[in-house]
């Protein structure tokens, strides 16, 4: 991935950019080969003989990608970057001869509108323009280009020490052509931006390189103009190859963003936390009953889900979806996660209240009225609504953080009512959500299934780590919900199918990081470390993680790179390096546990 905090592009190991939406992450793609073939839009730049690179890496602590090929003719490097956004979006690609003289080729197929629209492509001396509908792009190339059927291509030779630069600039078609950036200056600006940004990192634990790459990836998934945080940079990468579990993640989930915020605050990035809080206050303004579980990058509410029939999908995994119908779901956990994130922000930042507290009181009134309703859960199931245990626990979190806001921070509110609600939810979960015969909490009240989200119960302070019900749950998840040593979110076949979808899916990387934290929390540190090391090996060659992983094939599944997974990596590294594995549980929960009460 390269990106400019407005959008991102995915570059293959063959030097082809196969995914890119312009001008924003959630705009229609102009390169959609990832979900079809090269005719759905791609830009290849590499040796004319083709093939995968010999090696690639990010230039230290930046999003500047260096891809190198060793060939029989010599060696060559392509450096790709998107400089900080100025007048327009730019992609800079610089070919550099390292050894010998290598024959190179480039083929640019711009296909706007998710691969459907072939633009008019015209040459203008040393550059070309491509225009269709609202989109226009200009390519500055230092080699002559052939143009045929909307495709621009060139073959050229680079000898050691020579450089050939390409700059692609996008703008709305009704605007004049923006000033093209200078490739060398743009690379220098990109390097300065990232190097300065990472300077705020306060992490001093083990696995420093992996943590640095993960926080850079999280930053790259933020939309700078609004502070919104995306779940992932792609749509429709399948959770099962050939299956239908293909969703659009180019939006801001309150849950995912709350997790990112906690990881960012834990590693010293307060500006991002503040920007996200402002985004949240704008997005959630209005009636608290209308709070959505997700919004667009700018806080927009309407994200209708449609299926794109001209894209065959990644390795034939159809449908390709744009938009996300989960927008309209009731996921009770989101209120708890949002209130927890604002609670964390309050503890870290003096400016965190004001309007934010008024919003929180409104959210609490809603939870007080609806915590006993069945919901769609954090897994956004498309089956029947249930009384999901994790959702109820997050309602407990909502009231717990409200009580703490009054007790610790002196804010105003009906604290007695919140205390009473907190106790009622706690008692109900312990009575109806725990299966004493199996010694574990269950996915929903009365369920025979398990849920990896139950690993979070001690993390949020619902019960202490040493409580036998926590230990039993961690052990049950490890025993029954793992595949090849990695954790599934839940068993889609338990309870006659909970998610309403056909097929199965890969193991969920965020949940596997939660198991690392849980093993450490219950005192099995060696196992936690071994699992963490194994998880690090699932990163791709650039340190990136998708949403899911198939241990049988060693392949990533689901959208990529995914914020959830990188949050998991950062948090587990912090915990294993000595940060407490959770906000410490309430003293009274500890006491109740030791007295054997619910």
Ligand X SMILES: OC[C@H]1O[C@H](O[C@H]2O[C@H](CO)[C@@H](O)[C@H](O)[C@H]2O)[C@H](O)[C@@H](O)[C@@H]1O
Residues lying near ligand X in the complex (CB under 6 A) are found at: 231, 247, 249, 253, 255-256, 324, 326, 378-380, 382, 499, 564
**Of 406 and 501, which has the nearer Cβ to ligand X?**
501
**Of 19 and 197, which has the nearer Cβ to ligand X?**
19
**Of 324 and 572, which has the nearer Cβ to ligand X?**
324
Burial class (CB in 10 A: 0-12, 13-18, 19+), 353: middle
Tell me which residue of 525, 526, 544 sits closest to 536, measured CA to CA: 544
Question: Nearest distance from residue 259's CB to ligand X, in Å?
Answer: 9
**Of 56 and 245, which has the nearer Cβ to ligand X?**
245
**Of 112 and 335, which has the nearer Cβ to ligand X?**
335
**Of 234 and 324, which has the nearer Cβ to ligand X?**
324
Residues pairing with 96 in the sheet: 77, 163
Residues pairing with 435 in the sheet: 440
What is the radius of gyration, based on Cα positions, of the chain?
Answer: 25
Question: For residue 437, what are its two tokens?
Answer: 């015969």
**Of 198 and 325, which has the nearer Cβ to ligand X?**
325
Residue-by-residue DSSP string for 177-193: PPPPPPHHHHHHHHHHH
Tell me which residue of 405, 430, 399, 278 sits closest to 332, measured CA to CA: 399
**Of 109 and 489, which has the nearer Cβ to ligand X?**
489
Angle at CA of residue 63, ends 62 and 69, nearest 5° = 105
3-class DSSP assignment, residue 61: coil
Question: Nearest distance from residue 293's CB to ligand X, in Å?
Answer: 8
Helix-strand-coil split of the chain, %, nearest 5: 35, 25, 40
Question: For residue 150, what are its two tokens?
Answer: 């909307």
Question: For residue 514, what are its two tokens?
Answer: 């939660």
Q: ω into residue 260 within 30 of 0, thus cis? A: no
Spatial neighbors of 594 by CB under 8 A, at least 6 apart, are none
Backbone angles phi, psi at 58, to 5 degrees: -85, 140
- Residue 52 to residue 545: CA distance in whole angstroms: 20
Question: Nearest distance from residue 33's CB to ligand X, in Å?
Answer: 23
Q: ω into residue 480 within 30 of 0, thus cis? A: no
- Residue 271 to residue 199: CA distance in whole angstroms: 13
Question: Nearest distance from residue 388's CB to ligand X, in Å?
Answer: 12
Burial class (CB in 10 A: 0-12, 13-18, 19+), 485: middle
**Of 245 and 469, which has the nearer Cβ to ligand X?**
245
**Of 499 and 517, which has the nearer Cβ to ligand X?**
499
CA dist 223 to 161, 332, 364, 473, 582, Å?
37, 26, 28, 37, 28
Question: Nearest distance from residue 462's CB to ligand X, in Å?
Answer: 19
- Strand 555-557 and strand 55-58: pairing? unpaired
Question: Nearest distance from residue 433's CB to ligand X, in Å?
Answer: 19
527 in Cβ contact with 485 (< 8 Å): no
Tell me which residue of 231, 222, 196, 173 sits closest to 6, measured CA to CA: 222
**Of 393 and 402, which has the nearer Cβ to ligand X?**
393
Question: For residue 218, what are its two tokens?
Answer: 């999280």
**Of 244 and 530, which has the nearer Cβ to ligand X?**
244
- Residue 417 to residue 452: CA distance in whole angstroms: 31
**Of 501 and 536, which has the nearer Cβ to ligand X?**
501
- Residue 432 to residue 428: CA distance in whole angstroms: 6
377 in Cβ contact with 333 (< 8 Å): yes
Provide the 10 A C-beta neighbour count for residue 413. Answer: 16
- Residue 586 to residue 588: CA distance in whole angstroms: 5
**Of 91 and 229, which has the nearer Cβ to ligand X?**
229
Map 335-380 to HEC letters.
Answer: HHHHHHHHHHHHHHCCCCCCHHHHHHHHHHHHHHHHCCCCECCCCC
**Of 92 and 326, which has the nearer Cβ to ligand X?**
326
Question: For residue 482, what are its two tokens?
Answer: 């793992």
């Amino acid at each position: 991935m390269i990106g400019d905090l407005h959008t991102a592009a995915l570059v293959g190991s063959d030097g082809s950019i196969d995914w890119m939406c312009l001008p924003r992450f959630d705009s229609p793609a102009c390169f959609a080969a990832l979900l079809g073939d090269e005719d759905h839009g791609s830009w290849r730049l590499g040796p004319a003989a083709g093939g995968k690179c010999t090696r690639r890496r990010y230039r230290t602590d930046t999003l500047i990608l260096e891809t190198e090929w060793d060939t029989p003719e010599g060696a060559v490097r392509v450096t790709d970057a998107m400089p900080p956004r100025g007048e327009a979006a730019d992609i800079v690609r610089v070919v550099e001869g390292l050894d010998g003289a290598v024959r190179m080729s480039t083929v640019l197929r711009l296909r706007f509108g998710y691969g459907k629209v072939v633009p008019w492509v015209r040459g203008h001396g040393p550059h070309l323009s491509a225009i269709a509908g609202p989109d226009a792009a200009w390519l500055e190339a230092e080699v002559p280009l052939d143009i045929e059927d909307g495709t621009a291509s060139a073959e050229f030779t680079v000898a050691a020490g020579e450089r050939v630069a390409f700059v692609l600039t996008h703008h709305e078609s009704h605007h004049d052509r923006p000033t093209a950036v200078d490739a060398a200056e743009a690379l220098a600006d990109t390097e300065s931006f990232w190097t300065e940004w990472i300077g705020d990192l306060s992490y001093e634990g083990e696995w420093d390189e992996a943590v640095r790459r993960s926080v850079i990836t999280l930053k790259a998934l933020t939309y700078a103009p609004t502070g919104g945080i995306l779940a992932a940079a792609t749509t429709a990468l399948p959770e099962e190859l050939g299956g239908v579990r293909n969703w659009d993640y180019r939006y801001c989930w309150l849950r995912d963003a709350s997790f990112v915020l906690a990881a960012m605050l834990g590693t010293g990035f307060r500006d991002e936390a503040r920007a996200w809080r402002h985004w949240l206050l704008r997005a959630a303004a209005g009636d608290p009953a209308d709070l959505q579980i997700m919004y667009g990058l700018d806080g927009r509410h309407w994200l209708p889900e449609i299926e794109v029939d001209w894209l065959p999908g990644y390795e034939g995994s159809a449908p390709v979806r744009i938009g996300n119908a989960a927008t309209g779901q009731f996921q009770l956990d989101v209120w708890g996660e949002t209130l927890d994130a604002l609670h964390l922000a309050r503890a870290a930042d003096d400016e965190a209240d004001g309007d934010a507290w008024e919003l929180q009181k409104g959210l609490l009134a809603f939870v007080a009225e609806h915590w006993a309703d069945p919901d769609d859960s954090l897994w956004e199931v498309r089956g029947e609504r249930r009384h999901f245990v994790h959702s109820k626990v997050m309602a407990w979190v909502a009231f717990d953080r409200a009580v703490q806001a009054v007790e610790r921070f002196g804010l105003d509110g009906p604290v007695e009512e919140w205390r009473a609600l907190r106790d009622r939810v706690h008692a109900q979960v312990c009575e109806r959500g725990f299966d004493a015969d199996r010694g574990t909490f269950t996915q929903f009240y009365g369920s025979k299934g398990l849920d990896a989200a139950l690993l979070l119960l001690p993390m949020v302070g619902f019960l202490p780590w040493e409580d036998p019900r926590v230990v039993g749950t961690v052990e049950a998840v490890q025993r029954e919900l793992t595949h090849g040593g990695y954790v599934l979110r839940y068993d889609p076949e338990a309870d006659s199918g909970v998610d309403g979808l056909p097929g199965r899916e890969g193991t969920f990387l965020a949940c596997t990081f939660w198991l690392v934290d849980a093993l450490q929390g219950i005192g099995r540190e060696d196992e936690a470390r071994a699992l963490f090391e194994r998880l690090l090996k699932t990163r791709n060659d650039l340190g990136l993680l998708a949403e899911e992983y198939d241990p049988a094939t060693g392949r990533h599944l689901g959208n990529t790179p995914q914020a959830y997974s990188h949050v998991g990596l950062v948090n587990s590294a912090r915990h294993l390096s000595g940060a407490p594995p959770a906000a410490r549980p309430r003293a009274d929960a500890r006491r109740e546990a030791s007295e054997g009460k619910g």
